[in-house]
Structure formats: structure tokens, C-alpha cells
Amino acid sequence: MAALKQRHNKWEARVRVPKSAQASMGGKQMLYRTLKSTDRRAAKAEAMAWEAELKAEWESERLGSAAPLAALRRVYESVREKAERGEFLLYGDRESLDEITAGIEHELEKLEELAGDGELSEVQGARLMALQDAKEMRVRGDVAPRRELEPTFRELADEYLLLWRTTAGLKPTNTEQQKKATFDLFQCFYGDKSIRQVRRGDVSRFVDALRQMDPNWARTGKARQDGIAVSWAELQRRFGGRERGLSDATVNRHMGTLSALWKWAEEREHCEGRNPFDGHRRNLRQGKNKQGYVAWERGELTALFDPPPKRADLREVMLVALYSGMRLNEIASLTNGQLKREGEVAYIDVTESKTTAGIRKVPLHSKLEWLFLKAQEGAEGARVWPSFNDEGPGKKPGGDAGKEFSRFKRSLGFNDRRKVFHSFRKNVVGQLESAGVPQNEVAQIIGHEKQGLTFGVYGEQLSLERLAEIIELVDYSECGLPTR
């Protein structure tokens, strides 16, 4: 990091020269520059730009002809920014030009003299392009993007993710992992070209391949070799050509993520024209290419608990789901302090959920009295089931619990993808519906938005006592479920 020191009314920047570059710097160990900016913040920015230019030049010298594109781009951006703000001023020498343009032209002449009859280095070439474009902007007011210096698709995607993380109010979730997986997959297919070069035909071929890829390709561990992602050709050899590939919903998610990246890049002039990622989505129709979750049959519930899972924590969260209708991560992440009592009613205080409506109080069913007692035995901030591992940026134990349940149900021969842990919520809703509980009252129990403007905006919250009466209507006496 460049060091700043104020001398009189000016700032001086100091940059340490690495040993590998000291010979080209005349043996100097430190470089100094008096900055034009008098404000500390502006001086710091100027110093950082100078340091970036130096580092790019040193990197280019170290690597020879293999100077990274990102390093050359830093040189270009730094030099052009300095030229346009008037750092290369030349007074009174060229009457036909203003002092900023004259200074830029003088820098161009110095580069020409430096090259002589030979060729400029890559860093000097980047500097030349920057000065030429700065002059063009001064004269014409418009400059076409330098496509030879444009960031690759992957670099742009990483920048997009970096800014996406700064979104105000964004909660820690695993969504970033999904976006990154989409970008990784498309880069594997597309390579290191810029996003501007993406054509609709490219995307069509990518989508065709996705519709023939093994849905479990990412879970097998065979998509990487020695920790490095395999090539697209190898990926297709191992997982492509299946009769049944990724679901329409998964393909739609990939296309939505890539389409959003294109729109973001277009706003920053990295691409233009029709979005090649649009138009590849398929409409999802319930029962056709969208299979919703369905409730467990009574006989299936009996089979799930006879014998019950060997893991006590899994058995307990299954019971909580069946008698509360809560979501998996709401249950798996429960802390002891969330088990509370108000008057005669014990309840779970759900303080974090995927929706605003999910923030609610869920009365404890009489079959879950053991849960309240269990919570009294531990520290208030500790999780009720600490054995489930936190996963992803959101630190969600529900992912681990979900995997355990999936393994357990498959071991019993339940392979229907419509019957999962979330299906327990369907059981609760189905029972309350059969008992004649109004929809808007059920919504308060399970954490859904109330339907319609009248109930959604002006409706009142039910009392905890009334909610407790409703939850007691859930009954599995015919299934022979364990008490804990």
C-alpha cells in the first residue's frame, strides 16, 4: 500500500519497489511522487492509481509477454483517468490545443520516441491506448470501448457478485453460492471471452446441454479432479447425454441469473443489444413440468417412525414439523431461548424466516411438551439441536438436517421427489383445512401472507390462545407416532 506524507501544502506518496523490480528501477528501493491533489482522500486515490500502474508494469516485466489482462487494464484505466483530469499539462507550446490536450499529445510523442524502430511493451501499449482514447474523448467527446482490454466473463461476474453483496438489507443466505455455481458452469462452457461476445447460439447450445445433464452432477464429487474443475468436454463426457437432464425450474434459475448479469453489464457498457440469455425460459405448469410437494400418507408416516430414525435429533425435528407446520431451517436453527411461555401457552418465537409473515409465534402442540422441557436444560443462546452443521454463508443448519432426512427416507424406499421434509407442512395444512379452519387463520400458524387486501392489510392477529386451539386440531393418533 502506498504511504502518504504531507510536505508543506502537498502530499507525497511513497511506494516500496520489490526486489525483483529494483534492477529496472536503477537499484532504487523506494519511489516517491509529489501528488497534485491537496485533499487527503483525493491524494490517497491518486497514490493508489500510481501504485497500481507501477505494480502492473512490474508484473508485466516479470512475466514478459504473458502480462495478465487485468494488469494491463489497470494501467490503461489509471493513465486515461490521469490524462482526462489534466495531470499531463503543457502550457503555451501548441497554440491550437488547450493545455490538457497538448499535454496528452506530448506524452504520446514521448512514447513514440521511446519505441523508436522497435515495438512497445504490453504495458507501454496499454499506456498508448489510454492516451489515444483520452485525446479522442477531448476532441470528439466519445470513445468506443477497447475490446482487447475488456474483462472476461468470469472477471465481470466476480465484480457483479462483489457489488451484489453490498445490497442494502441483504441477509446472509446461500443464494450467492447458487449464483457463483451458475457463473462457474457457464464459464466452463464459454471460456475466458468477454460477455460482449456471447451470442444467442452460444446460449442455446448451453441450454441444450443443461437439459441433458445428470441432475445430480454437482453432488457426485466427480465434477472436479484434484480440486480443479474438469473441462466442459470432460463434464459432458461424465454427466451429459442423459434422457432426463436438469429440471426446467433449475434451467430457468440459471438463465435468470445470467440474464441479470447481462443487464447489469449493459448498464456499464460492457455489452449491448438483445440479451442473449432471454427467451430460453420455459413456463412451469403444475403437474407437467413443475412437481409440487405433496403430503405424506398416513401409512407412510407410520413407516417413517416404525422403526424411527436412529438419530434422535432427526426424529425430534420430524415430530416438531408434523405438529407445528414450521419450515425445516426454522426448526433446525431453534435456540433454547426461542421456547417461551405466555400465560398458560408455551410457544416457539420464530424471529427469523424467509418472509416477513414467517416472523410469528407458534403455540406448542400438547405432543411437543417435551420440547419446552428440553429447552430449559440448555443455555438460552445455544441451539436445541447443535449436532446439525451450519452450511453456507447463511450458516443454516437446515441444509445438513435436510440431507440427513433425504438419506433416511431413501433408505426406506421413498424416492418420490415430491415427498420431502417440506411435505410435513402439507400434512399440517391439510389437517387444518379438513377441520374447517379459515385459510387466513391457517396462514398465521404456518407463516404465510394472508390472502387479499382486506385480511392482509387490515386484518388483526389472532390471540395466542386461539392459535393454540387451532394447533391442537392436528392429530396423528392413527399413525402410532412416538411421543418424542
DSSP string, 403-432: HHHHHHHHHTT---TT-STTHHHHHHHHHH
Length of the chain: 484
Most confident of 60-64, 116-120, 138-142, 438-442: 438-442
Cα 327 from Cα 31, distance rounded (Å)? 60
Q: Encode burial over 39-72: b for 16+ CB neighbours within 10 A, e otherwise.
A: eeeebbebbebbbbbbbbbbbbbeeeeebebebb
CB 324 within 8 A of CB 362: yes
Q: How many Å is the maximal CA-CA distance in the chain?
A: 98
Q: Which domains does the chain have, with CATH numbers?
A: 3-149 (no CATH), 153-211+246-267 (1.10.150), 298-479 (1.10.443.10)
Residue with cell 510523442: 109
**Inter-residue contact 99 to 91 (CB < 8 Å):** yes
368 near 334, Cβ under 8 Å? no
Q: So what's the pLDDT on residue 451?
A: 59
Q: What is the spatial order of strands in the sheet that 3-7 belongs to? A: 3-7, 10-16, 30-34
State whether residue 477 is helix, strand or coil. Answer: helix
Find out whether 406 and 399 touch, Cβ atoms under 8 Å.
no
The pLDDT assigned to 298 comes to 92
Q: In Å, what is the CA distance from 292 to each residue of 416, 419, 430?
A: 11, 9, 15
Query: According to the model, what pLDDT value does residue 64 have?
Result: 54
Identify the band that residue 458 occupies on the pLDDT scale cut at 50, 70 and 90: very low
Question: What is the C-alpha R_g of the chain?
Answer: 31
Nearest alpha-carbon partner for 362 in 378, 377, 382, 342 = 342
Q: Is the pLDDT of residue 283 over 90?
A: no
Per-residue pLDDT tens over the stretch 147-190: 778 888 999 999 899 888 776 555 656 678 889 999 999 999 99
Amino acid 265: pLDDT: 94
Identify the helix (H) or strand (E) that includes residue 228. strand 228-229
Per-residue pLDDT, 459: 46
- CA dist 294 and 441 (Å) reads 21
Task: Give the H or E element holding residue 387.
Answer: none
| Residue 113 confidence (pLDDT) | 80
pLDDT band at 36 (very low <50, low <70, confident <90, very high): confident
pLDDT of residue 207: 94
pLDDT at 311: 93
230-262 pLDDT, tens digit per residue, is 899 999 999 999 988 898 889 999 999 999 999
Grid cell, residue 68, equals 495478465
Span of 136-140, 419-423, 451-455 with lowest mean pLDDT:
451-455
**Quick one: average pLDDT of 332-342?**
94
Q: Would you say 282 and 253 are in contact if contact means Cβ atoms under 8 Å apart?
A: no
What mean pLDDT comes out for the span 93-112? 81
Is the pLDDT score of 366 beyond 90?
yes
Quickly state the pLDDT bin for 466 (edges 50, 70, 90).
Answer: very high
Tell me which range, 22-26, 286-290, 387-391, is most confidently predicted by mean pLDDT: 387-391
pLDDT range class, residue 453, cuts 50, 70, 90? very low
Grid cell locating 324: 407445528
- Sequence-separated (6 or more) residues with CB below 8 Å from residue 461: 444
> 227 vs 438, which has greater pLDDT?
438
Cα–Cα distance measured from residue 469 to residue 248, given in angstroms and rounded to the nearest whole number: 41
> Which pLDDT does position 460 carry in this prediction?
61
Confidence (pLDDT) at 278: 94
Query: Greater confidence, 33 or 276?
Result: 276
Q: Is pLDDT of 66 > 70?
A: no
The answer to whether residues 421 and 402 touch, using CB atoms and an 8 Å cutoff, is yes
Angle between helices 200-210 and 175-190 (to 10 degrees): 110
Residue 334's Cβ-count burial label (10 Å; 0-12, 13-18, 19+) is buried
Residue type, 133: D
Q: Given a cut of 70, is residue 92 above it in pLDDT?
A: no
CA–CA separation, 71 and 69 (whole Å): 5
Q: Exposed/middle/buried for 208, CB within 10 Å: 0-12, 13-18, 19+? A: exposed
Please tell me the distance from the alpha carbon of residue 433 to that of residue 431, in angstroms, as a whole number.
5
Looking at per-residue pLDDT, the higher value among 140 and 54 belongs to 140
Per-residue pLDDT, 457: 40
- Whether the pLDDT of residue 129 is over 70: the answer is yes
pLDDT of the residue at 164: 86
Banded pLDDT at 454 (limits 50, 70, 90): very low
The answer to whether the beta carbons of residues 213 and 242 sit under 8 Å apart is yes
pTM (2 d.p.): 0.60
Alpha-carbon span 283 to 274, nearest angstrom: 21
Comparing 78 with 364, which gets the higher pLDDT?
364
Compute the distance between CA of residue 16 and CA of residue 184 in angstroms, rounded to an integer: 36
Query: What share of the chain in percent tops pLDDT 70?
Result: 89
Instruction: Please report the pLDDT score of residue 226 as a whole number.
Output: 67
Q: What is the mean pLDDT of residues 57-76?
A: 68
Torsion of CA 166, 167, 172, 178, to 10 degrees: -90
Instruction: Report how far residue 298's alpha carbon sits from residue 473's, in angstroms, rounded to the nearest whole number.
Output: 16
